[in-house]
Amino acid sequence: MNNGKPAYLTLLLALLHGIAGISILVISAWFIAISAIAPVGFNYVIPAVVIRALALLRIASGYASMWFGHNDLLARIAKARLRVFCQLENSQITDKAYTTEALAQHTEELASKWIAWVAPLSSVVFIFSGLCAAALYLDLPGALYIMALFVAWLVFVAVQGVNALTLAKEANKANKLFRQQSSDFFNRSAIWHLDKSMIQSDAAASNPDSTKIPSASQVWRYQLAQKAKAQQTAWWFQGLAFLFVVLVMSGVSPVASAFVFAPITIVIPMVLLAAPDWASTGFLSVSKFAQYKQSVSALKQLKAKPIKQYRDREIIHSLNLIQFSAKGRHASMVNSSLPANGVVCVSGPSGCGKSSLLQSIIGLLPATGLREIDGIGMPEGMVTNWRYVEQEPIVLSGSISLNLDPAGNDISQNEMSELLSALGLEEILPLTNWVGKAGRPLSGGERKRLALARAILAKPPVLAVDEPFEGLDSYTQQKVSKVLNSLSATTLILVASHTTPDALNVKTHLQLDEADIKTSLQTQCAIS
């Protein structure tokens, strides 16, 4: 889709919608006034038909503007997220929560600029300019009041813009502080029960505020302040417009006119009265503009560590790990030969390095030792199209289908639906369902299975899954096992899990402990 045409079409339709609304107001005011003094034989049909036609045009252009605008918005969100993906390509994400927010909120702010603030502000400026030009050309009584109101609106917009930029910047700072406080709090709470008094005293010594439970109230206050400022500015603008109406109706007009009592004189007061309804939208649009500017800045500050990447090579016989371990991690040294396909189950006590082993095999973490494909050494780095599903996967704010195909690879809708059903995710269908910010409406197990489905649809030659059965009932475990068993015919699947369902056909079992690794081959068993 062309980036420019849908956006300009949305803007044009928004302008047409606004012009139709103002035209209805002006013609209706004139029609009402002239009806009181109309001579015999006055044709009432033509104005009535024109008003009705303009009303239909206003409805049609408003609907068309929303339809084209939202379709363009969805396309732009997808493209904005792809740009973020490209920015993060070959990178190790250092702040997952912030990155998730960037993929969700900031990309939406970036993509929605046309429908959020460009079209509304442009419409108000165009309509105001047209009204001023028409009023001066016709020499209407009170024409200069229209110009004065336009100038006042521009001043209000400028002041509101400065305030909105300041509040948006402070809101971003408060949000960043809240994320940090939440991370620190949860990191401490995991060991709180060990020695509460010691942890409290140490935390208080380093940071007096660190022992407080994090609160998002400051973030919410800044967000509410943005809306309050916009509303306050709208009230001041409305009051000024009403004052101008009073001045015009009282005869205090900078423009003298020979037809003071003509029906056309009602036009300016009616326009002034109606101006706050359509012009005040600009004040909220300015707040959207401020959020857009902050989102642009935030996306430029994404923190990620570069990861080397190279094209994958088909595994014919085996993936060999020789004196292999995650660098800088407390993990066992692995010497093992993994099959080209089938399920490899990695187990062991908590903290033995199961997750680190999976990430280092995929290439997300640096490693010591060697990785070999059929005896040929692999350089350090991440292999293209090898996939890793972590315990707390990233879920995008969008539809189910967007989460399953974020790169827009035109994956079949039927394929998506069938896979979700096979994983026991029928309840989240249809694919158009919105999962909300960071997938919060979904349970932890649903988010993990959704991420697993996304990885499977990429058709990876190697798939690593961290704790896929955690928190699932036995029936759902069997369904997930069945999917993995079917996939294992062509794919090497690495599963790190404390729980191994009987239904899972494990070909190779890696038992990790504090000192070494035990490798045992198991015969495939039938699914119960």
3 state SS of 165 = helix
Dihedral sign for Cα atoms in the order 207, 210, 214, 215: negative
Which 8-state DSSP code applies to residue 399? B
List pLDDT tens digits, range 403-428: 888 777 788 889 999 999 999 998 88
List pLDDT tens digits, range 496-513: 888 888 888 888 888 776
Residue 97: burial class (beta carbons within 10 Å; 0-12, 13-18, 19+): middle
Write down the residue that tokens 């995008």 correspond to.
Answer: 396
Kindly give the interhelix angle for 217-249 and 143-189, rounded to the nearest 10 degrees.
Answer: 170
Terminal-to-terminal C-alpha distance of the chain: 49
Whether 114 contacts 72, CB under 8 Å: yes
List pLDDT tens digits, range 266-298: 778 888 888 888 888 888 888 888 888 888 877
On the question of pLDDT at 220 being above 50, the answer is yes
Whether 278 contacts 121, CB under 8 Å: no
Nearest CA to 366 out of 382, 383, 347, 342 is that of 382
Quick one: pLDDT at residue 71? Answer: 79
Distance CA 293, CA 300 (A): 11
Compute, in degrees rounded to 10, the torsion defined by CA atoms 441, 443, 448, 451.
-20
Q: What is the residue-averaged pLDDT of the chain?
A: 77
Most confident option among 205-209, 279-283, 362-366, 482-486: 482-486
pLDDT category, 186, cuts 50, 70, 90? low
The bridge status of strand 318-326 relative to strand 334-339 is antiparallel
Structure tokens at 262: 């003509």
Nearest CA to 153 out of 236, 269, 274, 244 is that of 236
Angle at 357 between CA 354 and CA 363, to 5 degrees: 145
Q: Which domains does the chain carry?
A: 4-179+219-298 (1.20.1560.10), 309-521 (3.40.50.300)
Portion of the chain with pLDDT greater than 90, in percent: 10
On the question of pLDDT at 262 being above 60, the answer is no
